[in-house]
Structure 1
């Protein structure tokens, strides 16, 4: 049975076989599906933390300017 009769391009089938081998521990040069999922999740977390860090930096600059601004006393 050839990949074409399965309706799958031969490269796609080859990639699936390689991934299955990696998941079974037979290929060290390729990450397992679990490792790929974990890497995606960690990259999302890093991006989220970077965004939060930028927001905190901007807020600290804003509040530092507020603290440094001279206060005017209301006239009586």
Structure 2
């Protein structure tokens, strides 16, 4: 659903996310689009590291940014 909210195919990125290194790349690409949409600083390398080492936290942060929920955020305060 995060992919859909930034204008990408939910099915395509959902499938790609299970393919090891390709999954890390695809999740980082979506995270980058979320950052771009919200004006959050960061880099593709940092997005790859988040997708690889903290994948579930990254998904929660992205959902919170796009859904307006309170909780974990991609922006450091």
TM-score range relative to shorter protein: under 0.3
Q: Which has the larger radius of gyration?
A: 1
Compute the TM-score of the two structures, normalised by the length of structure 2: 0.27
The TM-score, its normalising length taken from structure 1, stands at 0.27
Higher RCO, 1 vs 2 (CA within 8 Å, ≥6 residues apart) = 2
